[in-house]
Amino acid sequence: MGSNIKVGPFSVIEKNVKIGDNCYIGNNVTIACDTIIGDNCKIFHSSSIGEIPQDLKYGGEKTFTKIGNNTIIREYVTINKGTIDLGRTEVGSNVLLMASTHIAHDCLVGDNVIMSNLATLGGHVQIGNWAVLGGGVLVHQFTQIGDHALIGGGFRAVQDVPPFIIAANHPLEYKGVNIVGLKRRGFSKKDMNSIKKAYRGFFRSGGNRKTAIEKIESEFPKTKVIQKILDFIKHSNRGII
């Protein structure tokens, strides 16, 4: 236990737990064994952190949960530890998990992520840095959400959502580039224009994935943003929305 930690009544902290400095833990919180929590975190009442997975294949193997620094976990949030497949569930730093969100086993959530109320991740989901999930968003197991992506409230992701975009509708589809978010994070106008043109070619050209990738590779300079788009699309296992 670090210094300056406040723990509310009726909370349970099990064995093999590490908690950093200046953390606040509300009442009726359970922090299960083999959980690591960084500095300056706030965990509000009735949350469950690091409990065993809701996976019938889990056999009691030694796994853990890790929470980064400056992360806020609101009321009734549930985060399950990993299984033997990955061995851990990890939530980054400066993350906001609003009330009643759920992060399943073996999920990897990046830094500066916002999950709005009731957003739910199936097992093995990966969420990139600065991604935003609206209220009630459901993310299917093994799905990946790219950096700076935004999914509108109430929608469902069953395929991968590439970086920098806004996604909405049933079924989930590309609705444009997350311009507001990118401006707030200091992206240049040149990079934002490149992102917009690259996705216009990918989503609106009518060709298949291979030809769309080839078109981006041949027509755009290999900047960091273009390379991030290409790497994400090429390594997508579930397919792109």
Catalytic residues: 105-106, 123
Sheet of 6-7: strand order equals 6-7, 24-25, 42-43, 72-73, 96-97, 114-115, 132-133, 150-151, 165-168, 173-177
CB of 96 closer than 8 Å to CB of 117:
no
> In the chain, where does DSSP find H-type helix?
179-184, 189-204, 209-219, 224-234
Sign of torsion over alpha carbons 148, 150, 156, 161 = negative
CB of 57 closer than 8 Å to CB of 103:
no
The helix/strand/coil state of 57 is coil
**C-alpha torsion 129→135→138→144, nearest 10:** -10
The helix/strand/coil state of 184 is helix
